[in-house]
Amino acid sequence: MDEKVRLLENINFHQLAAQHPSLDQFFVGSQYNFDTHEGLIELAQVILLEYFQLKVQLDKTRLCPRIPNRLKYLRLVGSLVEQFKLGDSPLILDIGTGHTCIYPLLGSRLTSWRFIGTDIDERSLECAKKVLEENNVSSERIQLKLVRSGDDPFMDIENCDVVMTNPPFYDETGIKQNKPEKPVLVGKPTELATEGGESQFIINMINHSVKYPGRNTVYSSLVGKYNSLEPVVGKLKELNITNYGLSEFSNKTKRWIVFWTFNKNRPSDNIRMIKRSTFNPEKHEIFIPLKNKINLVDFLSSIQRTTIERENEVIVFKTKGIVWSRKFRRTNGTNFLKEKGLGSIFRITELETKIKIHWCYGDDRAVFESLLGLITRKTQQSSGEPL
């Protein structure tokens, strides 16, 4: 998928127009004009055909999908599938799949994933069904489902691995205030606006998701406006959902993706943090500077009621609690014996001048912070000094 993203980021529009003369009319001088709905429609159809061998006739009265951005969202979903260990053939729920079911359509070309595309517009699903038939995509790969506005989107889909959606950016007021120098937005009302705008749409998703804390589903949404992140992240924090992340990408404009889950796997920070943002979650990966060289394997092995494994240069450290604390020793581990499950898992890497600790599984951050303190003290103490 990375290769396809790079191709779409570096399109030679003159070469593309030479192969597809229907694009010629949309050039202004030497530049392709992205400011007309017709030009965007034609370009999207050509990209789908040229790069994905998909024949799609877009409805000119509906919102035009920007293919590069759709592909970047799918790429992030691929990272989520990998880091949350969701298997080779995960089931992806696409809320508001639209008249082309563009995310499932692209995903079916590039992956082995399965999709369910839902929409509140019956006509959109009829068009989507025709697109799938014309491109020989079976219902085993992509299912389409009509839903009612306001219903719980997760109620009847228990085995869903990832949820993705591209909600309307605006409420009705936002559309009316669209800047006059910008191209006119073309699309059906349900594609362009939703009550409360995109932030309220995502907050509604969050409120529905907390009904299913036992599921491993990873929920996600595209975010079109940076100021929508504040109420969305605020809701996640209000509900004490700590396993969340933010991603950012840009083409002509910046877009963001927010994701959250009750899955205990903790992904790497490189897919869940954006630059210079107060909305970022707390880190899952911390680097500890090495003041004094220590034998980390021997030190961790000496901690009773924990296990360690080696994966090449990485130490995998497992514990069911803060078993190195004085409190634990005073109670003789009474509560420890009652705990079930994997507890907390850390991937620890010794580098030249520092130690990297990745909290990769668990739901108790206190264990992570206590382990950080323990290793920090050990690396900073003088030889022979008691811990």
Given 271, 299, 331, the domain boundary residue is: 271
pLDDT band at 102 (very low <50, low <70, confident <90, very high): very high
**Are residue 186 and residue 325 in the same domain, yes or no?**
no
198 pLDDT higher than 50: yes
**Are residue 85 and residue 228 in the same domain, yes or no?**
yes
pLDDT at res. 39: 94
The 3-state DSSP class for residue 386 equals coil
37 pLDDT higher than 80: yes
**Are residue 374 and residue 236 in the same domain, yes or no?**
no
pLDDT band at 336 (very low <50, low <70, confident <90, very high): low
331 inside domain: yes
CATH value at residue 139: 3.40.50.150
95 pLDDT higher than 80: yes
16 inside domain: no
Lookup: tokens for 142: 């992509």
Q: Is 152 annotated as a binding residue?
A: no
When pLDDT is averaged across residues 74-95 and rounded to a whole number, the result is 95
Residue 308 near residue 316, CB atoms below 8 Å: yes
108 pLDDT higher than 60: yes
200 pLDDT higher than 80: yes
**Are residue 322 and residue 251 in the same domain, yes or no?**
no
53 inside domain: no
119 inside domain: yes
pLDDT at res. 182: 57
When pLDDT is averaged across residues 358-372 and rounded to a whole number, the result is 96
How does DSSP classify residue 44?
A: H
When pLDDT is averaged across residues 150-155 and rounded to a whole number, the result is 92
pLDDT band at 183 (very low <50, low <70, confident <90, very high): low
pLDDT band at 209 (very low <50, low <70, confident <90, very high): very high
- The average confidence (pLDDT) of the chain is 90
Given 271, 301, 334, the domain boundary residue is: 271
354 pLDDT higher than 70: yes
pLDDT band at 340 (very low <50, low <70, confident <90, very high): low
pLDDT at res. 186: 77
**Are residue 117 and residue 171 in the same domain, yes or no?**
yes
Q: Is 166 annotated as a binding residue?
A: yes
231 pLDDT higher than 50: yes
What type of residue sits at position 203?
I
290 inside domain: yes
Of 297, 273, 274, residue with least CA distance to 375: 297
382 pLDDT higher than 70: no
Domain of residue 359 covers: 286-380
Rounded Cα distance between 162 and 272, Å, is 15
pLDDT at res. 137: 95
Q: Could you tell me what percent of the chain has a pLDDT over 70?
A: 92
Tokens 């999908």 correspond to 65
**Are residue 301 and residue 329 in the same domain, yes or no?**
yes
pLDDT at res. 319: 94
CB atoms within 10 A of CB 187: 18
57 inside domain: no
pLDDT band at 177 (very low <50, low <70, confident <90, very high): very low
Residue 355 near residue 348, CB atoms below 8 Å: yes
**Are residue 256 and residue 107 in the same domain, yes or no?**
yes
Torsion of CA 115, 120, 126, 132, to 10 degrees: -20
Give CA separation, 157 vs 85, 93, 382, in Å: 19, 8, 56
What digits encode the pLDDT tens for the residues 284-298? 999 999 888 889 999
36 inside domain: no
pLDDT at res. 385: 56
Given 224, 242, 271, the domain boundary residue is: 271
Min mean pLDDT across 306-310, 324-328, 373-377, 381-385 is at 381-385
**Are residue 204 and residue 135 in the same domain, yes or no?**
yes
Residue 55 near residue 134, CB atoms below 8 Å: yes
Cα 93 → chain centroid:
13
Of 133, 126, 360, residue with least CA distance to 266: 360
**Are residue 202 and residue 297 in the same domain, yes or no?**
no
Could you list the beta-strand ranges (E) of the chain: 27-28, 31-32, 91-95, 114-119, 142-146, 162-165, 218-223, 244-250, 254-261, 285-289, 306-311, 314-319, 344-350, 354-361
**Are residue 100 and residue 212 in the same domain, yes or no?**
yes
What digits encode the pLDDT tens for the residues 237-290? 999 999 999 999 987 789 999 999 999 999 999 999 999 899 999 999 999 998
17 inside domain: no
Cα 31 → chain centroid:
33
**Are residue 213 and residue 81 in the same domain, yes or no?**
yes
**Are residue 111 and residue 230 in the same domain, yes or no?**
yes
Q: Is 119 annotated as a binding residue?
A: yes
Total count of domains within the chain: 2
